[in-house]
Structure 1
Amino acid sequence: MTVNGLNQTYLKVADINLYCEYILNNKPPILLIHGFASSTYTFRRIIPFLQKQYSVIAVDLPGFGKSEKSTSFIYSFQNYAKLMIECIHQFGYSNTHIVAHSMGGQIALNMALIAPEKINKLVLLCSSGYLKRAKKFLIFTSYLPYFEKFVHYYIQRKGIKLHLRNVFFDQTLINDELIQEFGKPLNEKGFYKALIRLLRHREGDLLPKQLWDIHVPTLLIWGEEDRVVPVEVGQRLVSDLPDAQLITYEKTGHLITEERPELVFNNIMMHTF
């Protein structure tokens, strides 16, 4: 199936059904990895630019978007990273550029730690960093029968519009389409089961001593008004990664691909070519 010039398919990777959008055009490959509670929709405004210069592969991570909400997958960054590496192989590539947003940044960094030869360059957009694993008490509580209802209530109580206000600097960009698309996962029962498994299995973000071992050239792009992952995280990452540079945008929030798609694309081009 093709929508807006992109092919849509499901790949079976490590017994997980992964939803993918892609266009292969004999140009250098680039893999897009979205963040927490998001999907390939995150990159909808930047893909039209990217596909002119790259073969583009965008994947919904297990537990999110249209991909399987598995109740057997171990939702750790390492396992996510291994899945993405295998995904690259299934598309016939031995290596790729990576653009990753928010939590996807930790997945991309894990890929760079596990298999640096598979990654040409990294572009991390408002990447998560330095978060510790969930506290043992919270992990224990997640096994109690009522916990799924608690998670459902906690996420639903503010409504998707308030969540979107937190990730945008320019509030005028929030429209009915965004509210509908970002709200879809919240109505899926399987989403909350996957979320709980992510809480249990997600190891802490990479430590500085692990980041020191990542020598893949890395570009960090940040919104200076990011309220989800403050720009100070980017400043720490650029000091801990051996081959990294940081670019920041004024009057820009966390969902940087929505607010500055063309500028992000231009910076990707400068970094990867």
Structure 2
Amino acid sequence: MAVNLAANPSFFLPFHQIHHNSTCALQTRLNFPSLAIPKYPVASLTCANASAASTAAVSAEKEEVLPPLDVSEINRKSRKWAWRGYTISYLVYPEGSSDVDAVNPPLLLVHGFGASIAHWRRNIPTLAQSHTVYAIDLLGFGASDKPAGFQYSMEVWAQLILDFLDEVVQRPTVLLGNSVGSLACVIAAAESSQSLVRGLVLFNCAGGMNNKAIVDDWRIKLLFPLLWLFDFLLKQKGIATYLFDRVRQRDNLRNVLLSVYGNKESVDEDLVEIIRKPALDEGALDAFVSIVTGPPGPNPIQLIPKITLPVLVLWGDQDPFTPIDGPVGKYFSTLPAQMPNVNLFLLEGVGHCPHDDRPDLVHEKLLPWLSDLPVS
């Protein structure tokens, strides 16, 4: 079976989740005949919490649109933190103490697969007007260490987040995550026993670390043999190197991003380079193979019921990897009716990375929710 890397290599980046549209995603990895699998659209989301919050957000005064933080400034201002013998890169913005520190909780931004701190460049200036903002490169990504032979897992990233809150932030914090970063935040919030987490914001939460996440969908189970074959191929050093070299080519990365962003104008050269540059680091290939072929880790469906903190879920309705009508998306869409601490908004015309795809729509929902958080 020929590997078609000229097509969108969608097993890389934060966009590798297999779901209702699993056949389409797999066809971008392997060249085999099309299978006709229907997709069942979600006509609307009807939940009282989301409706009330939406009305408040629309009536609220619109925030000034701020320019994104320059990538070079992010790189220059990023700091290093020693964690269990590894070096972790993080940003705090603005630097130094400010008046908001005494009033509003800090925020910690956690990127998705293949991304880094700079993926939040369009959000940090706006959020920093009312909060101290931290952003972190997870182990294996961005400017953080990529140790050879390391066995990555969702649990490792969740523990990294909790230790960062305990050692660096040292205040109850609101966690904001995208894709697998969302899932890492969910695990951290579910496991936190020291009141380190004040709230949770999830942008298109992943169902697991990779495409072997256990979900109740017969179409995914039907494709499992092909997925295990793909894992086997990736564990062959020569094949993995060839695939990874093709994956990190600029044109391939741009094509992947265009396929998962609703707003194509957000796919600029900065974004392509944000994804591409860390992929050139020594250890990036090992991280890629370990993450894609490793165990998927805890499922959010089992974890969310343990969380009583305020939760905001923002979901792009054009996400081809974790669609709102897929198993994980359907689960999250039912939560507002079952859990009063959960609010959900479906963002029209938005893809897998809402915070970078349409930051204006995200801030319209996010800022009022942050301002309404109960005082600790």
Q: What's the TM-score once normalised by structure 1's chain length? A: 0.87
Q: 2:258 aligns with which of 150, 154, 165?
A: 165
Cα shift at 1:159: 1.1
Q: Equivalent pairs: percent with the same residue?
A: 23
Cα shift at 1:148: 2.8
Q: List gaps (5 residues or longer) in structure 1.
A: none
Secondary structure of the 2:265 match is: helix
Kept after mapping to 2: 8 A contact 1:81/1:110 = yes
Describe how 1:17-28 pairs up with structure 2 within 5 A. 17-23=87-93, 24-25=97-98, 26=101, 27-28=104-105
Q: 2:240 aligns with which of 148, 153, 159?
A: 148
Describe how 1:108-257 pairs up with structure 2 within 5 A. 108-115=185-192, 117-129=195-207, 132-133=212-213, 142-153=234-245, 155-156=247-248, 159-206=252-299, 208-232=301-325, 233-239=328-334, 242=339, 243-257=341-355
The equivalent residue for 1:15 is 85
Kept after mapping to 2: 8 A contact 1:132/1:205 = no
Cα shift at 1:52: 0.8
Kept after mapping to 1: 8 A contact 2:91/2:134 = yes
Q: 2:175 aligns with which of 88, 91, 98?
A: 98
Cα shift at 1:145: 3.4
The alignment status of 1:3 with 2:81, answered yes or no, reads no
The alignment status of 1:31 with 2:108, answered yes or no, reads yes
Cα shift at 1:231: 1.9
Q: What's the TM-score once normalised by structure 2's chain length? A: 0.65
- 1:251 and 1:143 mapped to 2: Cα distance? 37
Q: List gaps (5 residues or longer) in structure 2.
A: 1-71, 214-223, 372-376
- 1:208 and 1:268 mapped to 2: Cα distance? 23
- 1:143 and 1:223 mapped to 2: Cα distance? 33
Kept after mapping to 1: 8 A contact 2:119/2:271 = no
The equivalent residue for 1:266 is 364
Per-residue CA deviation, residues 238-258 of structure 1 (Å, 9 max, x unaligned), is 435843221011121222122
The letter for the 1-side match of 2:334 is: S
Relative CO higher for 1 or 2, CA cutoff 8 Å, sep ≥ 6?
A: 2
Secondary structure of the 1:159 match is: helix
Q: 2:164 aligns with which of 82, 87, 93?
A: 87
- 2:261 and 2:77 mapped to 1: Cα distance? 29
Per-residue CA deviation, residues 40-81 of structure 1 (Å, 9 max, x unaligned), is 111100100011111111001111111111125431111100
Question: Structure 1 pair 92/99, CA: closer, same or farther in 2 (3 Å)?
Answer: closer
- 2:75 and 2:283 mapped to 1: Cα distance? 29
Question: Structure 1 pair 107/175, CA: closer, same or farther in 2 (3 Å)?
Answer: same
- 2:352 and 2:123 mapped to 1: Cα distance? 15
Larger strand fraction of residues: 1
How many residues get paired?
Answer: 272
The root-mean-square deviation of aligned C-alpha atoms, in Å, is 2.7
Of 211-220 and 75-84, more deviation after overlay is shown by 211-220
